[in-house]
A and B are shown apart, each in its own frame.
Chain A
Amino acid sequence: MSVNEESMIWIDPGDFIMGSSLFEIESPVRQLHVDGFWIDRYPVTHAEFYDYVLQANAPMLPDWPEDGPGSEIANHPVERVTWQEARDYAAWCGKRLPTEAEWEKAARGVDGREWPWGPDWIEENANVWDSAKALGVMTIPNGSRPGNVSPYGVIDMAGNTEEWVEDAFLPYGSSGSSFLSSDGRCRVLRGGSWFYTSEMARCSFRRGALPEFSGYERAGGPGFRCAKS
């Protein structure tokens, strides 16, 4: 399958700065080499995922009406997808989920910045609880916040929907963090969402969830984007 250069972005091979010292589970900060890869410019939308459900005879998602997602959310990022459903979609497209390192590099580039757009928080740039509650929105259409762009041009890495990546959720290296969700059963979620405050939309933020997790009614749940080697 050839890569659609409109919908995917090429990330050059090379080192980037991964991690953060803000939380032990994001530590240590280190240089990491990542091979070149393609990543979706936008998260997968409801319309795209519904098209797949119809063609692949895959299960419907929890919050959809019987006739599928309405046109009002067609171009919003898909929510409430399990890790396996996200993987199945990616495989059907001839793609895969990004690794955790690929996701973080695509979000922050090589210079270790805290947000896709730079070092400082800018509320207008990301749909998170700080503003979503006040504005009365849940997810918003992909690309609604012009400032939510990474150094590579990848869109909406911060907020709106959390995104599954391929990796199991484990402490980095020999970091002392350990708790139930980091014992290897969970998969990693990245990027925060409209339901969570800005701390979780930082490029290096990570948390784990069981692969069958699909979020909650009224709180939304995971989405994803695809990658390709």
Chain B
Amino acid sequence: MAPDVEAHAGELRTHGMVFVPAGPFIMGDDRFPREAPQRQEYVADFWIDRFLVTNEEYYRFAESTGAPRPAHWVDGEFPVGHEDHPAEVSWTMADAFARHHGKRLPTEAEWEKAARGTDGRLFPWGDSFDAERCLTWETSSVTGSHSESVRARPTGVSPFGCEQMVGLCEEWCADEYAGYPGSTNRSVGYGIGMRVLRGGSWIFPMTHARASYRCFEEPDLDTSGYAQLGGPGFRCVLAEESS
């Protein structure tokens, strides 16, 4: 069932989402083999969640549908006080959440456009790394902070209004992990069913917090290790699908 952007634009479905108008943006970075080549990429209109999906939102989804809960939750409950922290789940769980809400996970191109806008900037806020605007290793290595509210970094906002795009937790994209068209990089990780992760996390340094940075994991990642390491989170997209 294809959601119709026009019909739903003013309705509750886009509550908490920001609109990213159709058009080209600068995708990729020639200086990093997995991110090359840099090119103009056209992306159609879409809506994307302003914030990461929270523990509380995922909990309500699991309560109403019987969907699996993260294995690192204790007795099926997220840690006390973490209701507005990101839900850290497998790709399969994230995908099910999105579909249940009539949405889907963002493509890599949608995610990157939402994170850096159209001008090819390195980080959501500009070209210089700023540890105040995102939770990365530069801070967590000293404070020990492995999680925080999805609303904790308003100054890290992207040109289109998304928050916490980089740092805190990696974010699942819809795409299978593969080499970009025209890339000369070869990798045994390409084309074997891995899914793309974007945005880095508290455990990774600034290298991973760039808007064009790409990583990957298996879609059914075992979430039982997430209590200590933290796992990927996600946000959803609503778009008019071409058939």
Residues 180-205 of B, flagged 1 when their CB comes within 8 A of A and 0 if not, give 00000111110010100000000111
> Would you call A185 an interface residue if the criterion is a C-beta within 8 Å of the partner chain's C-beta atoms?
yes
Expressed in whole angstroms, the minimum distance between the Cβ of B228 and any Cβ of chain A is 6
Count the B residues whose beta carbon is within 8 Å of the partner chain — how many? 34
Residues 179-219 of A, flagged 1 when their CB comes within 8 A of B and 0 if not, give 11111011000000000111110000101111001001111
| A218–B129 CA distance with the chains assembled, in angstroms | 28
B142 touches A210 (CB 8 A): yes
- In the bound complex, residues from chain A placing their C-beta under 8 Å from that of B128 are 24, 176
Q: Determine, out of A41-49, A100-108, A123-131, A139-147, the stretch whose residues face the partner at the interface.
A: A123-131
- Contact partner of B187 (CB less than 8 A), chosen from A123, A186, A207, is A123
- In the bound complex, residues from chain A placing their C-beta under 8 Å from that of B67 are none
B141 touches A134 (CB 8 A): no
Nearest B residue to A192 by beta-carbon distance?
B207
A197 touches B186 (CB 8 A): no
Expressed in whole angstroms, the minimum distance between the Cβ of B211 and any Cβ of chain A is 14
B217 touches A130 (CB 8 A): no
Q: Given that A123-B188, A134-B194, A219-B203 are contacting pairs, would A210 and B141 also be in contact in the complex, using a CB cutoff of 8 Å?
A: yes
Residues 203-217 of B, flagged 1 when their CB comes within 8 A of A and 0 if not, give 111111000010111
B207 touches A205 (CB 8 A): yes
- Contact partner of A207 (CB less than 8 A), chosen from B205, B216, B229, is B205
B34 touches A133 (CB 8 A): no
| A115–B207 CA distance with the chains assembled, in angstroms | 16
| A18–B115 CA distance with the chains assembled, in angstroms | 32
Q: Given that A181-B139, A186-B141, A186-B142 are contacting pairs, would A218 and B229 also be in contact in the complex, using a CB cutoff of 8 Å?
A: yes
A130 touches B189 (CB 8 A): yes
- Contact partner of A134 (CB less than 8 A), chosen from B192, B207, B208, B225, is B192
Expressed in whole angstroms, the minimum distance between the Cβ of B240 and any Cβ of chain A is 34
A134 touches B229 (CB 8 A): no
A181 touches B188 (CB 8 A): no
Q: Given that A123-B188, A135-B188, A216-B229 are contacting pairs, would A177 and B203 also be in contact in the complex, using a CB cutoff of 8 Å?
A: no
B33 touches A179 (CB 8 A): no
B33 touches A198 (CB 8 A): yes
Q: Which residues of B contact A (CB under 8 A)?
A: 31-34, 128-129, 131, 137-139, 141-143, 185-189, 192, 194, 203-208, 213, 215-218, 225, 228-229
**A-B contacts besides A130-B187, A179-B138, 9 pairs, CB < 8 Å:** A123-B186, A134-B187, A179-B139, A180-B143, A181-B139, A197-B208, A198-B33, A199-B32, A219-B203
A-B contact pairs, 16 of them (CB 8 A): A22-B31, A24-B128, A121-B33, A123-B186, A130-B188, A131-B188, A134-B189, A134-B192, A135-B188, A180-B141, A183-B142, A197-B34, A197-B208, A199-B207, A200-B207, A217-B228
Q: Which residues of A contact B (CB under 8 A)?
A: 22-25, 121, 123, 129-131, 133-135, 176-177, 179-183, 185-186, 196-200, 205, 207-210, 213, 216-219
